[in-house]
Amino acid sequence: MMKVARISFLLVVVFLNSLQLRSQFVGQKTYCNPVDINYRYNFEQLNEKISYRSGADPVIVNHKGEYYLFVTISGGWWHSKDLLNWDYVVPDKWPMEDMCAPAALSVRDTLYLFQSTFEQRPIFYSLEPEKGKLLFYNRWLPRLPPLVGPWDPDIFYDKELDKWYMYWGSSNVFPIYGAELDKSRKLTYASDYVGLIYLHPEEHGWERFGPNHTDTIRPFIEGAWMTKYNGKYYLQYGAPGTEYNVYSNGTYISDKPLGPFTYAPYNPISYKPGGFLVGAGHGNTFQDNYGNYWNTGTPWIAVNWNFERRVAMFPAGFDKTDQMYVNTRFGDFPHYLPKGKWNKSDELFTGWMLLSYKKPVVTSSVKDTFSANRITDENPRTYWVAAQNKPGETVTIDLLHECDVKAIQINYTDYKSNIFDSDSTVYTQFKLFVSKDGKSWQCVSDLSNEKRDRPNAYIELKSTAQARYIKYEHIYVKAANLAISDIRVFGNGNGKAPKTPANFHATRQTDARNADISWDKVDGAVGYNILWGIAPDKLYQTYQVFADKENRLEIRALNKGQDYYFAIEAFNENGVSPSTTAVHIP
The DSSP result for 184-232, as a single string, is GGTTEE-S--EEEE---TTTBGGGS-SGGG---SPP-BEEEEEEEETTE
Give me the chain's average pLDDT, please.
93
pTM of the model: 0.94
Q: Give the CA angle between residues 507, 314, 234 to the nearest 5°.
A: 80
For residue 137, pLDDT beyond 60: yes
H or E element, residue 405? strand 394-412
Mean of the pLDDT values across residues 100-114? 96
**Distance between the two ends of the chain, CA-based, in angstroms?**
82
DSSP 35-91: P-S-PEE--TTGGGT---EE--S-EEEEETTEEEEE-TT-SSEEEESSSSSEEEE--
Does the bond joining 536 to the residue before it have cis omega, within 30 degrees of 0? no
Query: What integer pLDDT is reported at residue 26 of this predicted model?
Result: 54
pLDDT classification of 506: cutoffs 50, 70, 90: very high
H or E element, residue 23? helix 2-23
Give the least confident one: 90-99, 178-187, 397-406.
Answer: 90-99
For residue 9, pLDDT beyond 90: no
pLDDT tens figures, 437-490? 999 999 999 999 999 999 999 999 999 999 999 999 999 999 999 999 999 999
CA atoms in the 13 A half-sphere facing the CB of 208: 18
Q: Do the Cβ atoms of 74 and 14 come closer than 8 Å?
A: no
Provide the 10 A C-beta neighbour count for residue 26.
9
Domains of the chain: 40-350 (2.115.10.20), 354-492 (2.60.120.260), 505-585 (2.60.40.10)
For residue 131, pLDDT beyond 80: yes
Query: What integer pLDDT is reported at residue 47 of this predicted model?
Result: 66
Alpha carbon distance 186, 45 (integer Å): 35
Mean of the pLDDT values across residues 327-356? 96
Alpha carbon distance 8, 439 (integer Å): 45
Q: What is the SS3 string spanning 537-559? A: CCCCEEEEEECCCCCEEEECCCE
Q: Do the Cβ atoms of 138 and 167 come closer than 8 Å?
A: no
pLDDT tens figures, 305-322? 888 999 999 999 999 999
pLDDT > 90 fraction of the chain, expressed in percent and rounded: 87
pLDDT tens figures, 481-493? 999 999 999 999 9
Reduced to 3 states, what is the DSSP secondary structure of residue 150? coil
Mean of the pLDDT values across residues 188-205? 96
Distances in whole angstroms, Cα of residue 38 to Cα of each of 85, 385, 459: 11, 21, 15
